[in-house]
Structures are given as C-alpha cells and as structure tokens.
C-alpha cells in the first residue's frame, strides 16, 4: 500500500506526478516493501506492481 505523501495516496497519481510529460513509462520504487509500481503509455489507471526481490 502506498503511504500518503503530501496528500497523494493514489498509486496512479503518484506515478504520474513523477513522470515527464513525454514519458513512455514511469516507475516509483518502494524500497521498504521491495516493490516497484510501473505505468506505461501514461495510462495512470493501470498500475503494474513488480516485486524486486
């Protein structure tokens, strides 16, 4: 679960805030949980969670 940061606790929105306007993909890492959240094609409603370990 993504912890609230500055009022943002939606996974897609958080990844979108980290992305450049022309990004083909964007990723946010959660080192505590050992996961990454990946969005492709700026489809912020489709967040893929990947285990890093």
Q: What is the pLDDT of residues 11-37, one digit of tens each?
A: 655 666 666 677 788 888 888 889 998
Residue whose structure tokens are 């969005």: 39
| Cβ-contact 2, 19 below 8 angstroms | no
Instruction: For residue 9, name the pLDDT band (cuts at 50, 70, 90).
Output: low
For 13, the enclosing helix (H) or strand (E) is helix 11-18
Instruction: For residue 2, name the pLDDT band (cuts at 50, 70, 90).
Output: very low
Say if strands 48-51 and 25-30 run parallel, antiparallel, or are unpaired. unpaired
pLDDT at position 48 is 92
The answer to whether the pTM exceeds 0.85 is no
pLDDT at position 4 is 46
pLDDT at position 1 is 45
Written as six digits, the tokens of 3 are 């912890």
């Amino acid at each position: 679960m993504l912890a609230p940061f500055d009022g943002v606790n939606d996974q897609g929105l958080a990844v979108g805030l980290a992305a450049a306007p022309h990004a083909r993909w964007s990723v946010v890492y959660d080192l505590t949980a050992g996961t990454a959240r990946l969005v492709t094609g700026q489809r912020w409603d489709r967040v893929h969670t990947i285990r890093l370990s």
